[in-house]
Structure 1
Amino acid sequence: MRKWMTALRIKRKTTLFQMNFWYILILFLTVLSIGLAVVSVTSYQLYKGTEQEVIYVESQLKNESMEKHPDWKDSLDSIIYEQHPDFYVRIETPDSKTIYSRGSESITDQNEYLIKLSLFSSISFKKKFIPVYHHQASYNGYTFDIYVRMISIHTFIVDMVRVLALCVLLGIVIGSLAIYQLSRRLSRPLLDVTGMIRQVTETNDLKRRVLIPDQPKEVHDLAKSFNQLMSQLDQLIERDRHFVSDASHELRTPLSAIRGHVELIQRHGAGHPEVVERSIHFVDQESKRMQRLIEQLLMIARLDRRSKVLETVDLSMIAKNVIADYAPSIIQRFKANIADGTYALANEDYVHQVIVSLLGNARKYTPDDGWIKIIVEGGPEFSYVRVQNSGPRIPDEEKEKIFTRFYRLDQSRSSEAGGSGLGLAIVRELVELDEGIIWVDDLNPTGSEFIVRLKARKAEGLNQ
């Protein structure tokens, strides 16, 4: 019993149960309302018909009362028995006599009515709920009490109520079955999609996709969105898997080298001081490289979870501040073309880091006798930061790859040892957080140009 109740509570929360419950309830109330309306209208029309007949009988009785010596027996027989067999009349004459129509004593003098309608004050109910219509009129000294036993009307209404009740019952049963089948058919695609989603989550198979039904449109969009979400999640997990693998490889290399030099010191350090000095220098360089790599990994992790806070920033001022801090460390010829009053929608810290990273990348890949140039300029829709250098060109097939994590150009193109392969990947993520884009073009006759495009803003945007 408890299991049955638990299952019922669970089913009550389903869309199928709620659709059936509300549809059946609406159907029941609709059919019941129609049935009550039919019974009410029919009953009222029958009541009005009886009322018209009573008025007719009253007019006949008044005509008879105008005679000098009315023969009430013959008049009642001709007025009531032939034309209105369910009518009963009691007459109070001016000389205080009481005249009854045939068989009316049992009705006219027995006033033990069970129910008297407030809407139709002329109708009362006696035993077995047979309605009795009563009308009283006075004319020419006579008082007429007219009673109508509405047996035929009662029988008709009872039969009609039974037929309507049967129709209501059949309508509810047939309608409920039809609604149940329809709701099952409408909810079947949703149940199928839900079942497939449950299987995917239970098996943790991110490669699996749910079938997309053609209709209804809501379920079609749900299944399509779920598949897109699974694809994005699969790509994210695959990217993180590659990232962890590449990071492990990048960290393993300096660790192995450091471990090798430590063993070299342990074996030969006592008798060869020059080995100790050379190994300590190498360990220091590799540890610094590891430190930079770890800091970049932490920055990427923070960028993946960072919310965007964008505002109107002064690109010209940010670029001038970066140049003032970092230009002295650039040994190549350095040029700057900064257009004053260049604003963009971005994050000031992100823009600062992007310019620093691009200048550091240009310095690393530009020969000592080469040149580096930074350009900041604006337009009606976009503002640009361009970092140019006279180093070797980047092959077309590698122009997109250099912005992926742990990707390096051939180290022979660099004037220093290769970096971690994370610098430009971080730059792209920072630019995308600023809702901008970055790409690289060739310069003539040699060199490369990194272009950052951001949404332009006006100076008054600072006060908005």
Structure 2
Amino acid sequence: MPIIKVRGVKMKRKTPQMTTTSQEIQHSFRVLFIWFAFLMSLAVVGVVGVQLVHQRQAESIELLGSLKRSIIDDRPDWEQWRKNSTINTQNTYVKVNDRTRNIPTKFYSHGTKTFLKAKQIHLPFFRALTYVDGYGFMYYRSGSKLGIMSQIWLSLNPVVNVLLSVIIVVFSLFLLSLLFGWYFISSTAKRLTQPISQLSQTARDQSKSELEYETLLPVPKSPMEVKQLTTSFNELLTSINYKNQQEKTFISNAAHELRTPIAAIRGHIQLVQRHGRDHPEIVDRSIQFINNESARMQTLVNDLLALSRADRGDVKLDYIDLTSLLNETVEEQRAVLKQTINVNIPTKTVVYANADNVQQILSALLDNAGKYSPADSQITVALSQHGSQYSLSVQNTGPSIPDNQKDQIFERFYRGDQAHNHQVSGTGLGLSIVKQLAELNHIQITVTDLKPQGSRFNLLFNNPENQN
């Protein structure tokens, strides 16, 4: 944990605590649920409270109206009103001040005089609401008619009691909903993130095992995102495993190809050391053998380096003159190959590729044709156009390639039966390099048979139109 010095005092800096996806989901939904439940509870209590207050307000208006209707011949019939009124004298108080007489007269309902003697506190923002000591909150309303002033105080205690009951019920439901929601959100979050957790755990277990990506991860049926992620991850594992196996095979074959000439060279060196003085004739033969094997090793190393560069995939493409490149490469191979090379190409052809790669591909195909064709045969290089595409073919009259080997010939260190039977020299990497370079240059390569015998390697340049 990092340590911070503050005025000579060492303080430990708190490392931010990592949270899981499940915890993040639970936290977000809990906060949202609490706010939603709180606002809903507040709304219910508010609506009920407002409705109850409006009800008391309507009662006060009706009561005040009945007092006004009791005025007959400009005189309030107080006694008659009191007999016919259904007011609850325990929570409603009425005072009538008749100022139309020579001597003002005041009428009080039962308990009103005692009520008015109590201490009253007027609320500053709600003039109609008053708190009376010993009576609680009261709703006040007044009105006058023909000089007769009527005042009414209605107790809000029933409203407060109902409102408290509503608050208790709503709060209880809020707590129950909170507990249920807490459990539901937690279980839902764990259920949604369980496939991800299992995927992560399985990946960690496989990273510690020695299976080397051979075991695929279990694919859940839901949710769809995790299913797609697992499927993509398995495809990645399959690709890694395939490349890993290729690398193992490649290293094993490369070691074998290098081990064979090295062992042979060491054998001839030991032969010369032991018997060179007594049998001088074996020295020249051994030196020639060592020279041939060392040249073969040099070719193998060069091919391995070329294949390594091709594997890196760092290729710059550009528009190149394919015709000039073909003519130059063919002239170089004519000086090496015994076969006759016939060329059938247009005067100028422009394609989008890497010049060095294309020259290396053509050289490898011509070298391969020279190895498997009779010395007095012909090798044909032809270039034709099909719309915006150009097809380059290299054909020979050597043995045809069986259909079941047409894909295998591009594998690293693969050498067919014809190569072994006729002791054809080579490293088995030439066509692998051709395949890799063709893919880097977006060139399609195929192999077809010729009649009565022979093979044709076709390169299809699928390029955009030349922009000049």
Q: Could you say which TM-score interval applies, normalised by the shorter chain?
A: 0.7 to 0.9
The change in CA–CA distance for 1:75 and 1:302 in structure 2 (over 3 A counts) is: farther
Match of 1:455 in 2: 462
2:178 aligned with 1:172: yes
The change in CA–CA distance for 1:411 and 1:38 in structure 2 (over 3 A counts) is: closer
1:72-91 aligned within 5 A? 72=78, 74=79, 77-78=82-83, 82=87, 86-91=91-96
% same residue = 30
Inter-partner Cα distance in structure 2 for 1:185 and 1:424: 52
Inter-partner Cα distance in structure 2 for 1:242 and 1:114: 96
Match of 1:191 in 2: 197
Structure 2 SS opposite 1:349: helix
1:84 is displaced (CA, Å) by 6.7
1:81 is displaced (CA, Å) by 6.2
Contact kept in structure 2, 1:132 and 1:149, CA below 8 Å: yes
Match of 1:203 in 2: 209
The change in CA–CA distance for 1:255 and 1:86 in structure 2 (over 3 A counts) is: same
Inter-partner Cα distance in structure 2 for 1:129 and 1:99: 21
Give the TM-score taking structure 1 as reference length: 0.85
1:422 is displaced (CA, Å) by 0.3
Tell me which of 301, 304, 308 is aligned to 1:301. 308
Match of 1:102 in 2: 110
Match of 1:264 in 2: 271
Structure 1 SS opposite 2:214: coil
Contact kept in structure 2, 1:54 and 1:146, CA below 8 Å: yes
Letter in 1 for 2:186: Y
1:271 is displaced (CA, Å) by 5.6
Match of 1:358 in 2: 365
Match of 1:322 in 2: 329
2:147 aligned with 1:147: no
Contact kept in structure 1, 2:329 and 2:363, CA below 8 Å: yes
Q: What is the aligned-residue RMSD (CA, Å)?
A: 3.1
Letter in 2 for 1:197: A
Structure 2 SS opposite 1:385: strand
Tell me which of 100, 121, 145 is aligned to 1:113. 121
The change in CA–CA distance for 1:128 and 1:369 in structure 2 (over 3 A counts) is: farther
Contact kept in structure 1, 2:89 and 2:109, CA below 8 Å: no
Tell me which of 420, 432, 436 is aligned to 1:425. 432
Match of 2:219 in 1: 212
Structure 1 SS opposite 2:121: coil
Match of 2:66 in 1: 60
Inter-partner Cα distance in structure 2 for 1:373 and 1:105: 128
Match of 2:356 in 1: 349
The change in CA–CA distance for 1:393 and 1:136 in structure 2 (over 3 A counts) is: same
Inter-partner Cα distance in structure 2 for 1:440 and 1:60: 110
Match of 2:29 in 1: 23
The size of the alignment, in residue pairs, is 449
2:408 aligned with 1:401: yes
Letter in 1 for 2:237: M
Match of 2:4 in 1: none
The change in CA–CA distance for 1:376 and 1:104 in structure 2 (over 3 A counts) is: farther
Letter in 1 for 2:449: D
Tell me which of 236, 239, 243 is aligned to 1:236. 243
1:114 is displaced (CA, Å) by 7.3
Letter in 1 for 2:121: Y
Inter-partner Cα distance in structure 1 for 2:22 and 2:134: 46
Inter-partner Cα distance in structure 1 for 2:206 and 2:231: 15
Contact kept in structure 2, 1:214 and 1:220, CA below 8 Å: yes
1:312 is displaced (CA, Å) by 4.8
1:407 is displaced (CA, Å) by 1.4
1:402 is displaced (CA, Å) by 1.5
Deviation track 1:79-129 (CA, whole Å, cap 9, x = no partner) reads 76636752323455547776544333465565653754x4x5523445699
Give the TM-score taking structure 2 as reference length: 0.84
Inter-partner Cα distance in structure 2 for 1:189 and 1:31: 30
Q: Which has the higher helix share?
A: 1
